[in-house]
Structure 1
């Protein structure tokens, strides 16, 4: 096993730039079919947390620059790299499904999730998915079924940021996957930063230095 316990996926998958890690690999770096319009409330200070209001709760979180995520015990992390070099996403793989959290620049007035969810529902239907809406802990949620995969999307409008979280898993584990998604979102801290950014711009993901260096070495070794 390598320095961070990286596991190589099948070659066909490796070409997509996805690297797998165990949660423990990061220990040293932790310090209805019709769309229904349902409005959500603006971030109210109760998880996910803005950096300025993050609790001192002792929860271990991995620092990804714009996000600090509490990774569940036994989870495996997948780092998805863009061909141009930047990190595209970090996925958390659990027995009940794959969880992904993304943060975006948003207007001070909020309301971006409602716009994004409308577009997302339309795109999912275009891709052949069955989509319905529901109301959850943070307001509007999307539930989608595509083939043998069930998807649940949660969105939260925060102060100058919007958080979108999704879990993809088997249909027979819907309740468990929803619980895992909620727990992840409740403990997430968003680091927006003060720089001006166009609305909808993904906040940049930064890997812990040791992990970034290890990935670079692996890429150079495979060149």
Structure 2
């Protein structure tokens, strides 16, 4: 499916100081049979792929994938994008919404040796159980997967260790939507198997999310949606002021002073934010 290049000499050579520090932070340990597979053990045509190992250039790969900077992923048929922003207005996550549920794929910094997903999965399982969720460990194409049943949704976590990166795929849906044989899981595994990761050369602490960069077309859609929200807010304020004025005239026969419409959201504030401080903008 893809042409691969040989991994650079740094991967095969003796570990440097950064390698030892990363490995120490990762806490490398023994491998279980259901642990995420080493990148070298996966089939040549099974992703996620490392951008540096492929013969295809970024432009060629982006022609069939959504380029989000640290990850390039294919969009399933009928999928919609949901962008999550930080309080500062920077993209934090991009979700793919399907008719069966939501898929979120993100890349994280990791040491050169595999094993980070095993630790992350253990932490996730502990956190879910602490929230009184029912958690089970299952085995999928890449090894260990977590299946969690919470009060609000069913969740499945799939992790894959790469060279200095780890990909985590999170599935969320209604009860029964993330079973091993469900359509949502089949779609997510297909997307994950074709995902390409761009780790970059910048240093990142272990487990740090790799940067998400939105393409210009997506930024333009977000800006248009923001303008629509501003116009709607301004129109609602004007209508409210008019209703108040009409009510005052009917009640006392006098014209009440017209209230100033609320100030629209400024262009640097980004889409409307919820109580959690994040903004969710659904795009076709």
TM-score tier by shorter-chain length is: 0.7 to 0.9
Give deviations 1:151-176, integer Å, cap 9, x for gaps. Answer: 11100000100000011112333311
Q: What is the rounded CA distance, in whole Å, between the counterparts of 1:201 and 1:101 in structure 2?
A: 14
CA displacement at 1:102 relative to structure 2: 1.0
Distance in 2 between the 1:70 and 1:80 partners?
19
Verify the 8 A CA contact 1:151 1:167 in the aligned structure 2: yes
Find the counterpart in structure 1 of residue 235 from structure 2. Answer: none
**SS class of match (2:64):** coil
More helix by share: 2
Higher strand fraction (1 or 2):
1
The Cα shift of 1:55 comes to 6.8
When normalised by structure 2's length, the TM-score is: 0.61
Specify every segment of 5 or more residues in structure 1 that has no aligned partner in the other structure, as ranges: 1-36
Find runs of 4+ consecutive structure 1 residues off by over 3 angstroms: 54-59, 216-222
Partner of 1:192: 199
Name which of structure 1's ranges 112-121 and 208-217 shifts more when overlaid on structure 2: 208-217
Structure 1 position 90, deviation (Å): 0.3
Query: 2:222 aligned with 1:215, yes or no?
Result: yes
Q: What is residue 51 of structure 2 aligned with on the other side?
A: 51
CA deviation after TM superposition for structure 1 residue 184, in Å: 1.1
Is 1:82 the counterpart of 2:86? The answer is yes
Structure 1 residues 55 and 172: CA distance shift in structure 2, 3 A: farther
3-state secondary structure, aligned to 1:172: coil
- Residue 162 (structure 1) aligned with residue 158 (structure 2): no
Aligned to 1:40: 36
Aligned partners of 2:85, 2:35: CA distance in 1, in Å? Answer: 34
- Deviation, 1:216, is 4.3
Note if 1:100 corresponds to 2:107: no
Per-residue displacement from partner, 1:99-157 (whole Å, max 9, x unpaired)?
Answer: 00110000001211011110011111112210010111001100011125211110000
| TM-score of the two chains, using structure 1 as the length reference | 0.77
Q: Which is higher, the Rg of structure 1 or of structure 2? A: 2
Q: Give a deviation string over 1:11-67, Cα, whole Å, max 9, x none.
A: xxxxxxxxxxxxxxxxxxxxxxxxxx6422212353011102347597710100001
Number of equivalenced pairs: 187
**Aligned mates of 1:218, 1:169 — CA distance in 2:** 26
